[in-house]
């Protein structure tokens, strides 16, 4: 990570990119609508959210024991568990496995946790070529970029850009449509699947009771990655624990309906140990790298519920800031509302000083979060925490506003005064140039109060009306 | 729910997910199966080696032969293991497996690993043909997991509809890495 990221600067550049804005806005909006329909079509979804939160509270309150139980059960099923304190340790473990089996190539099914530890770069140093097999990840790997969404990593590219990229990198005909582009990728990636020495996947869930890993994909790359290579390495944050196998159906419902609005994704694969006697596919060796990287510290603090995150991306799709700037402006593996909170917590406030500001506190992320993580509240807490770290007191304007807002009489008098002033300056344009008025009207218009009585006077009069009934 | 009710729900959910569901009698099966075979892309059919009800696999193989299809299947090795001839499997345009259970709530097939059974025949070929008994329909994943009694097989895959992606402009496209077409024959429904 760089010393300090500057979201104000990167977001300004992102807003100026019209292709980016259109592509991100379109896809985020589709995913947001699909989620809305899928949730509306599932009676009891709200209760399921409460249930999910309470199950994850049990886990986050006891993270270490759950992870150790998972590791024990995995070992009993013939797999190998590795605990990694941080990303560097995790990469060393993965490199050591690759070195021992003499691997030259790996196929990888999308994993944000592997992205978090820069797994591909680490393996490249050890001479192992990693091919991303999720279509979105494959696209951005060819483009030499980073994912810009935790579920739809190539959300910032439109079809014309992908067609051009495939034309240049894979020699396909120019100007292909989406269906043809998918076929080009299928053919190119199939060869990699059939020859790779190692398969690397993430985990959507890790079941402590049975040592089972659950992987959710639509494309089938997760299945292929865990079926063909003789060694499979799973990279999982210790926050991926769920207590029992019987918890899986509920969590899958929360995840897929929130992420893509699907009743279920095309493939849900539950892996318990390596290939068993007589079986025709699956890895002969199964390794699960359990990554801490700051997670156990979160468990004991006031941002504990971040550990409940299912990485569904619903908060990204709902966020007006994310929709306007896309993922790259955040300069973190984790963009959008969950990333605003997670990035400073995992990598330090110094590295991401202004991400807590990348939020209008509109509250949509909390509305859609399947785990009811109080994301707006966490943004606010981080701002307070940052002010404390910098030894800042609130400015005089904020203090004046606070004392006014805390006193109803004063507040009403203040609003009345502003209203009177605004009624007298009716001639002013809605947009102004320069100075404070210019800055204030840059993305909003100067309000002109309506004619007649204000709302309060109208309401009071209405309440006291002769009949006492609505007019 | 009674079996006909959950079966009806399964059929609706699976079709919504893009699976072609065909309810057939045991006598109709060979003809209907032959009609679903691909007209182009080669004449190799990948078959799982085990897990089939008595006699059915042989009848399927005979029908494939009369339609001009050669069968490739995992070979039994010394020591009891099975392995595919990967080149032939990769060249097969169609894979055919027996699947005991499927789930009404999500329209999912429950594909499990076991000796001579795995995921590749339903994954590598473009077309996936899956055969199941009418009485194999369960309500949901919880019902299936209960059956495993806390000791699940090494791989359980819920496969729901064809392989798909929305990674380019959220445009749903079928057949990325897995099959673009899935036909589920429910026998005796």
Which tens digit of pLDDT belongs to each residue from B129-163?
Answer: 999 999 999 999 999 999 998 789 999 999 999 99
- B65 within domain boundaries: yes
User: How far apart are alpha carbons B51 and B115 in whole angstroms?
Assistant: 8
Q: What is the pLDDT of residues A216-228, one digit of tens each?
A: 999 999 999 999 9
Across B94-99, average pLDDT:
96
Cβ atoms < 10 Å from Cβ of B34: 15
CATH label of the domain that carries residue B56: 3.40.50.10420
pLDDT at A2 over 70: no
- The share of chain B scoring above pLDDT 90, in percent, equals 81
Residue whose entry in the numeric block shows the structure tokens 């045991």 = B26
Q: Compute the average pLDDT of residues A377-388.
A: 93
Average pLDDT over residues A86-103: 97
Alpha carbon of B59: minimum distance to chain A alpha carbons (Å): 23
Q: For residues A221 and A228, is the Cβ–Cβ distance under 8 A? A: no
Average pLDDT of the segment spanning A36-60: 97
Asked whether residue B39 is assigned to any structural domain, the reply reads yes
Q: Which of A419-428, B30-39, B118-127 has the lowest mean pLDDT?
A: A419-428
Query: CB contacts < 8 Å between A and B, how many?
Result: 200
Nearest in space to A268 (alpha carbons), one of B115, B161, B12:
B161
Number of domains in chain B: 1
Q: Do A219 and B178 touch (CB under 8 A)?
A: yes
Please answer yes or no on whether A220 and B160 come within 8 Å at the CB atom.
Answer: no
Q: What is the pLDDT of residue B77?
A: 85
Partner-chain contact B169 A270, CB within 8 Å: no
Q: Which of A219, A249, A267 lies at the smallest CB-CB distance from B159?
A: A267
Chain B contact set for A48 (CB, 8 A): none
B chain contacts of residue A224, beta-carbon cutoff 8 Å: 123-124, 177-178
Q: What is the ipTM of this complex?
A: 0.96
Contact check, Cβ <8 Å, B154/A193: no
**Interface probe, candidates B140, B154, B174, B182, chain A, greatest A C-beta count within 10 A:** B154
Measured in angstroms, the CA of A469 and the nearest CA of chain B are apart by: 49
Residue range A290-312: mean pLDDT, rounded: 96
State pLDDT tens for residues B16-40.
Answer: 999 999 999 999 999 999 999 999 9
B23 domain residue, yes or no: yes
Residue A106 dihedral angles phi and psi, to the nearest 5°: -140, 145
Partner residues linked to B21 by β-bridges: B184
DSSP state letter for B78? T
Q: What is the pLDDT of residue A216?
A: 97
Mean pLDDT of B68-82: 89
Distance of CA A358 to the CA centre of its chain: 14
Domain enclosing residue B62, as ranges: 3-161+173-187
**Is residue A204 scored above 70 in pLDDT?**
yes
**Average model confidence (pLDDT) for chain A?**
93
Residues of chain A contacting residue B16, judged by C-beta atoms under 8 Å apart? 263
Using the predicted structure, report yes or no on whether residue A469 has a pLDDT greater than 60. no
As a whole number, mean pLDDT of residues A12-34 equals 92
Element (H, E) at A115: helix A112-116
pLDDT digits (tens, 9 = 90+) for A257-277: 999 999 999 999 999 999 998
- Across the interface, of B86, B116, B123, the residue whose CB is closest to A278 is B116
Q: Do A280 and B116 lie within an 8 Å CB cutoff? A: yes
DSSP string, A324-356: HH-SGGG-SSS-HHHHHHHHHHHH-TTTSTTGG
**Which domains occur in chain A, in start order?**
7-297 (3.40.50.10420), 407-463 (no CATH)
Contact B157, B119 (CB under 8 A): yes
Residue B1's pLDDT is: 52
Show Cβ contacts of residue B175 under 8 Å, excluding neighbours closer than 6 positions. A182, A183, A186, B126, B162, B163, B164, B181
Q: In Å, how far from its chain's centre is CA A206?
A: 19
Is B166 inside a domain boundary? no
Residue B147, both tokens? 């059956």
Question: Which of A278, A313, A316, A327 is best to mutate for the B interface (most B CBs within 10 A)?
Answer: A278
Q: State the best of B18, B163, B168 to mutate against chain A, taking most chain A CBs within 10 Å.
A: B168
What's residue A3's pLDDT?
62
Which chain B residues in 109-168 lie under 8 Å from chain A, judged by CB atoms? 113-120, 123-124, 140-142, 145-146, 148, 150-168
Distances, alpha carbon A321 to alpha carbons A311, A371, A384, in Å: 18, 21, 20
A80-84, A465-469, B133-137, B172-176: which range is least confident on average? A465-469
**pLDDT tens digits, A320-346:** 999 999 999 999 999 999 999 999 999
Cβ-defined contact of A182 to B173 (cutoff 8 Å): yes
For the segment A132-147, the average pLDDT, to the nearest whole number, is: 95
User: B168 vs A268: CB contact, 8 Å cut-off?
Assistant: no
In angstroms, what separates the C-alpha of B146 from chain A's closest C-alpha? 8
Smallest CA–CA distance from A189 into chain B, residue: B177
CA distance B60 to chain A (A): 21
Q: Which of B148, B157, B162 sits opposite A269 (nearest CB)?
A: B157
* pLDDT above 60 (res A55): yes
What residues of chain B lie within 8 A of the CB of A260, using their CB? 166
Task: Quote the minimal CA–CA distance from B85 to chain A in Å.
Answer: 11
Residue B110 domain-assigned? yes
CA nearest A225 in B: which residue? B177
Residue B93 near residue B126, CB atoms below 8 Å = yes
User: Between chains, do A279 and B107 touch, taking CB under 8 Å as contact?
Assistant: no
CA distance A407 to chain B (A): 49
State the smallest CA–CA distance between residue B103 and chain A in angstroms: 11
pLDDT digits (tens, 9 = 90+) for A444-466: 888 777 777 888 888 888 888 77
Task: Check CB contact under 8 Å for B170 and A182.
Answer: no
The arithmetic mean of pLDDT across residues A285-308, rounded, is 96
Contact flag B142-A249 (C-beta cutoff 8 Å) = yes
Which residue of B148, B167, B169 is in closest CB contact with A26? B169
Q: Answer whether residue B168 is part of any domain.
A: no
- What is d(CA A355, CA A10) in angstroms, rounded to the nearest whole number? 11
- Mean pLDDT over A187-210 rounds to 96
Is there a domain that residue B156 lies in? yes
Structure-model confidence comparison of residues B113 and B115, the more confident one: B113
Question: Which residues from A are below 8 Å from B117, CB to CB?
Answer: 279-280
Burial label for A276, CB within 10 Å (0-12, 13-18, 19+), is middle
Interface touch A267/B113, C-beta < 8 Å: no
Partner-chain contact B160 A276, CB within 8 Å: no
B94 inside domain: yes
Tell me the CA end-to-end span of chain B in Å, nearest whole number: 16
Would you state the pLDDT for residue B78? 83
Interface subset of B 15-34, CB within 8 angstroms of A: 16-17
């Amino acid at each position: 990570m760089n010393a300090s990221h500057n979201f104000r600067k990167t977001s300004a550049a992102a807003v100026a990119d019209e292709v980016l804005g259109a592509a991100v806005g379109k896809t985020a909006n589709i995913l947001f609508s699909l989620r809305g329909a899928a949730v509306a079509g599932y009676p009891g979804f709200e209760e399921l959210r409460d249930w999910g939160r309470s199950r994850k509270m049990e886990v986050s309150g006891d993270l270490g024991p759950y992870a150790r139980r998972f590791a024990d059960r995995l070992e009993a099923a013939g797999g190998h568990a590795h605990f990694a304190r941080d990303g560097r340790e995790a990469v060393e473990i993965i490199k050591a496995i690759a070195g021992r089996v003499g691997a030259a190539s790996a196929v990888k099914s999308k994993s944000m946790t592997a992205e978090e530890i820069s797994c591909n770069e680490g393996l490249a140093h050890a001479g192992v070529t990693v091919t991303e097999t999720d279509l979105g990840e494959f696209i951005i790997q060819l483009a030499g970029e980073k994912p810009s969404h935790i579920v739809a990593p190539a959300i910032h590219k439109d079809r014309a850009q992908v067609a051009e990229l495939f034309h240049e990198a894979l020699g396909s005909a120019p100007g292909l449509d989406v269906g043809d582009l998918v076929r080009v990728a299928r053919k190119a990636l199939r060869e990699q699947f059939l020859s790779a020495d190692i398969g690397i996947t993430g985990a959507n869930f890790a079941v402590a009771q049975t040592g089972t890993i659950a992987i959710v994909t639509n494309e089938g790359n997760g299945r292929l990655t865990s079926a063909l290579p003789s060694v499979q390495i799973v990279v999982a944050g210790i926050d991926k624990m769920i207590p029992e196998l019987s918890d899986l159906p509920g969590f899958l419902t929360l995840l897929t309906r929130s992420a893509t609005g699907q009743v279920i994704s095309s493939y849900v694969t539950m892996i318990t140990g390596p290939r068993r006697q007589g079986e025709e596919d699956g890895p002969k060796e199964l390794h699960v790298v359990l990554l801490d990287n700051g997670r156990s510290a979160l468990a004991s603090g006031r941002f504990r519920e971040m550990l409940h995150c299912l990485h569904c991306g619903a908060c990204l799709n709902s966020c007006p800031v994310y929709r306007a700037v896309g993922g790259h402006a955040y300069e973190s593996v984790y963009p959008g509302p969950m990333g605003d909170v997670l990035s400073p917590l995992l990598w330090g406030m110094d590295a991401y000083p202004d991400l807590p500001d990348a939020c209008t506190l509109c509250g949509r992320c909390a509305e859609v979060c399947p785990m009811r993580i109080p994301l707006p509240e966490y943004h606010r807490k981080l701002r307070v925490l940052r002010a404390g770290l910098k030894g800042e007191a609130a400015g005089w304007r904020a203090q004046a506003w606070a004392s006014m807002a805390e006193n109803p009489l004063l507040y009403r008098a203040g609003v009345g005064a502003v209203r009177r002033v605004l009624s007298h300056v009716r001639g002013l344009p809605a947009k102004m140039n320069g100075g404070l008025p210019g800055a204030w009207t840059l993305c909003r218009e100067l309000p002109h109060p309506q004619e007649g009585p204000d709302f309060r006077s109208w309401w009071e009069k209405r309440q006291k009306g002769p009949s006492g009934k609505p007019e | 729910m009674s079996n006909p009710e959950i079966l009806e729900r399964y059929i609706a959910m699976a079709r919504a997910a893009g699976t072609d569901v065909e309810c057939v009698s045991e006598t109709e099966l060979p003809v209907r199966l032959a009609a679903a075979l691909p007209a182009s892309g080669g004449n190799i059919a990948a078959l799982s080696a085990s897990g089939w009800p008595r006699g059915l696999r042989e009848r399927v193989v005979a029908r494939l032969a009369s339609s001009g299809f050669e069968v490739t299947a995992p070979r039994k090795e010394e020591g009891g293991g099975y392995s595919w001839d990967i080149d032939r499997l990769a060249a097969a345009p169609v894979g055919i497996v027996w699947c005991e259970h499927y789930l009404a709530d999500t329209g999912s097939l429950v594909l499990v690993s076991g000796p001579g059974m795995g995921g590749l025949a339903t994954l590598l070929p473009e077309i996936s043909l899956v055969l199941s008994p009418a009485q194999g329909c369960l309500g949901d994943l919880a019902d299936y997991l209960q059956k495993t009694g806390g000791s699940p097989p090494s791989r359980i895959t819920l496969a729901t509809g064809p392989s798909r992606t929305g990674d380019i402009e959220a445009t749903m496209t079928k057949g990325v890495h897995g099959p673009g077409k899935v036909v589920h024959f429910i026998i005796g429904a």
